[in-house]
A = this chain, B = another copy of it.
């Protein structure tokens, strides 16, 4: 692999001269060496039909955490946005804003995570950009990825499409990512097995959509957590979403951590979990298929869409009562992605 001679990133690495070319060459090698990666633009053949396009910036703090890092997250986050709108993710862009003084070894580690995540997700980094800002004007590194995916003919998903009777499936335990970040940031050990769930959900969505026409909507439960996604579906589809607390998979460490810190697992961000709205006739088969795949092994049907009150999410609690699951107002855990 080409190496940078400098140990730290300098302002001059962003200046458009020889040093910038060296930085870009180093990064191209580190993200997998694809010819043309990180060029200004990529030109490629696209099939006619529907494409999906998405973007996300990543400002997670800290940059490295149990189960992942900002590079891995930056690929998974964009891949997941494409996956839940039914697309097969194909191409991603990679833009880095690097603070002067950032250690080159950390950059190498992040680039290597990007490479591994892209390979796992089956996407190619085709274009990119690097900027360097003066010390104190960013927080180490911020990464933006944008992505393009191909939506197969016949696939059409929308949070508008839920109807009364549809089952709500979550693909696994919730809250792992947010709690892992919190644990790292605050230096609190909630349990040795707690780590981010960040993963490319296309590994789950692509085979599911090939086999089941009864999937009406999918959303990945990132900022705002499960609560935000369920509220979105309830509002967009004009239904009431009714879930049962006891059915929601939550890992022991996350449950304990949330109790200790006063958080609701329903509001905590995930980076490798999706919610699917499924025709009741296919729900059991979709659940079984999810459970047969690594990323869906803890999947569960947690509730269903009912007639009313429209736009509301209602949860039957473990104590037998009912409560409204609101969208959180402000920020509980900043900078988790």
- Asked whether A87 is an interface residue with its Cβ less than 8 Å from the other chain, the reply is yes
- Asked whether A40 is an interface residue with its Cβ less than 8 Å from the other chain, the reply is yes
* A329 B19 Cβ-Cβ under 8 A: yes
Q: List, in ascending order, chain B residues with CB within 8 A of A86's CB.
A: 43
* B331 A19 Cβ-Cβ under 8 A: yes
Q: How far is the CB of A5 from chain B (nearest CB, A)?
A: 13
**Which stretch of A54-62, A205-213, A271-279 is in the interface?**
A54-62
A93-B334 CB under 8 A given contacts A41-B81, A59-B131, A228-B17: no
Q: How far is the CB of A43 from chain B (nearest CB, A)?
A: 5
- Asked whether A44 is an interface residue with its Cβ less than 8 Å from the other chain, the reply is yes
By DSSP majority rule, is chain A's interface helix, strand, loop, or mixed? mixed
- Asked whether A224 is an interface residue with its Cβ less than 8 Å from the other chain, the reply is yes
A330's contact among B10, B82, B131, by CB below 8 Å, is which? B10
CB-defined A-B contacts under 8 Å, sample of 25: A11-B334, A13-B330, A13-B331, A15-B223, A17-B327, A17-B332, A21-B327, A41-B52, A41-B54, A41-B87, A42-B53, A43-B85, A44-B53, A45-B50, A46-B49, A51-B148, A54-B93, A59-B133, A93-B146, A97-B97, A131-B337, A133-B335, A137-B139, A144-B144, A146-B146
Q: Which residues of chain A have a CB within 8 Å of any CB of chain B?
A: 10-21, 40-59, 61, 81-82, 84-87, 91, 93-97, 126-129, 131-134, 136-139, 142, 144, 146, 148, 151, 222-225, 228, 267, 269, 327-335, 337
